[in-house]
Amino acid sequence: MQPGSLILSTMARLLLPLQLLFSIFMLLRGHDLPGGGFIAGLVASSAFILYLFAFGVPATQQVLRVDARTIAGVGLVIGTLAAVPPIFIGEPFFKALWWYPEIPLIGEVSINTPLIFDVGVYLTVLGSVLAIVVSLAEAEE
């Protein structure tokens, strides 16, 4: 794939961090407002795809640092692990657990297994979509 247009490459460089931030925002608010792991994963992957179109495969892989397939694998592991904790307190597999620890300066935060699971979904979707697009783009070059 030929890196081309100046406008595209400038925009891609600017948009990548913004879009990633936005995707994390979508991920975290998903439980109460439109969003969630799946959507956030798609947003994040489109950020990288835009970068890919602007700068080509090697540059994108440098930004990613890890192989896309690894990201998907880590996502699957996290998603599966999120189902495990309830077993230790005698609850069924995948029963949602919620903690509200107090953290100085920030106040009460919520840590819960559905969110961990959603992070797994996020990473799996991101990794899978990127793996597909990157391998197709590579085949083209």
Partner 1 sequence: MLAAVLSGFVLAALVPWLQPVLGRRAGWAFAALPAVLTLYFATFLPQIVGGETVWMEYTWVPGLDVNLSFYVDGLSLLFALLISGIGTFVLLYASDYLDGDERQPRFYVHILAFMASMLGLVLSDNLITLFIFWELTSITSYMLIGYDNEDAKARRYALQGLLVTVGGGLALLAGFIMLGIVGDTYTISELLKQGDVIREHEWYVPLTLLILLGAFTKSAQVPFHFWLPRAMAAPTPVSAYLHSATMVKAGVFLLAKLHPALGDTTLWMTLLPLVGAITMFTGAYFAVRSTGIKGVLANSTVMALGTLTMLAGIGTEGAMIAFGAFLLAHSLYKGALFLVAGALDHETGTKDVLKMGGLRHAMPKTAVLAAVSALSLAGIPPLFGFLGKELMLESVLAAPYLSAVLALLALGTAVLVVIVAGIVVIRPFFGERTETPKEPHEAPPGMLAGPAVLGVLSLLFGVFPFIPEGLIGAVASSLAGEQISVSLSLWHGVNLPLVMSLFAIAAGAFLFTRWDQVREAMARYDWLYERGPEAGYFRTLDALVWSADWQTRVLQNGYLRHYITTTVLTTVLLVGYTLATRYDGGFGAGLEVYFYEWIIAGVLIASVLFACVTNSRLGAVASLGVMGFTVALIFILFSAPDLGITQILVETLTVILLVLVLFRLPGFMNFSAPQQRVRDGVVAAVMGVLVTSLLLITIDVQFAEPISAYHLDESVPLAHGRNVVNVILVDYRALDTLGEIFVVALAAIGVYAMVKYRVTGESSPAEKEDNQ
In the complex, the residues that contact partner 1 under the rule CB under 8 A are: 30-39, 42-43, 45-46, 49, 68-69, 72-73, 75-76, 79-80, 82-83, 93-94, 96, 98, 110, 112, 114-115, 117-118, 120-121, 124-125, 127-129, 131-133, 135-140
Show the CA angle centred on residue 121, arms to residues 86 and 114, nearest 5°.
35
- Work out how close the CB of 130 gets to partner 1 at its nearest, in angstroms, rounded to a whole number: 8
- Work out how close the CB of 5 gets to partner 1 at its nearest, in angstroms, rounded to a whole number: 16
| Single-letter code of the amino acid located at 81 | L
Which H/E stretch holds residue 56? Answer: none
116 CB-near residues (< 8 Å, 6+ apart): 78, 81, 82
Taking alpha carbons only, the member of 42, 50, 40, 67 closest to residue 14 is: 50
- Work out how close the CB of 39 gets to partner 1 at its nearest, in angstroms, rounded to a whole number: 5
Nearer of residues 14 and 31 to partner 1, judged by Cβ: 31
Sign of CA dihedral 74, 28, 20, 34: positive
Instruction: Let me know if 106 is exposed, middle or buried by CB neighbors in 10 A (0-12, 13-18, 19+).
Output: exposed
Nearer of residues 88 and 104 to partner 1, judged by Cβ: 88
Nearer of residues 63 and 81 to partner 1, judged by Cβ: 81
- Work out how close the CB of 56 gets to partner 1 at its nearest, in angstroms, rounded to a whole number: 13
Nearer of residues 104 and 107 to partner 1, judged by Cβ: 107
